Structure 1
Amino acid sequence: MTNIPRALAVSLLSSAFLLTAAAAFAQSTTAPPTTATRPTAPEQNSLPNASAPPASTTQTTGQSPSDPKVREMNQAEKDKVDRQGK
């Protein structure tokens, strides 16, 4: 029965020692040198795709026409919102 408290005490003391040693080592390290080279000009020159069509608000996104019943329900909800508000 006395081995468990002793093992616990040893493990706590050793972890406290290791933590303080690691903290001391972390504080003693120096900052890395600031001699990195920076690019002076952008290495990527992005141009718009000349073969792409211009942006359009009338171009569809591939959505198929909705069912007449769905359109009717949507219109009814829009009318309800216009009359009563949200």
Structure 2
Amino acid sequence: MTNIPRALAVSLLSSAFLLTTATAFAQSTTTTPPTTATRPTAPDQSSLPNATAPPATTTQTTGQSSTDPKVREMNQKEKDKVDRQGK
């Protein structure tokens, strides 16, 4: 009957010891990185426009094209359906 309290005491003491050593180990391995990193001095890339690219326009957004009348009609029907029924 005396073995149970002794086992409990040993278990508690060993867990406390392991927790304190694990915490101490974690604190000792946390170091700050060195501040001697090299930084680039000149940019590796220049921002020059492509000579063969068409000029930018304000009337037509990227990827936009004139829509076929049939496609416009189908889109309008779907918009009306969503307005009436919801998604």
TM-score (norm 2): 0.46
* TM-score (structure 1 length as normaliser): 0.46
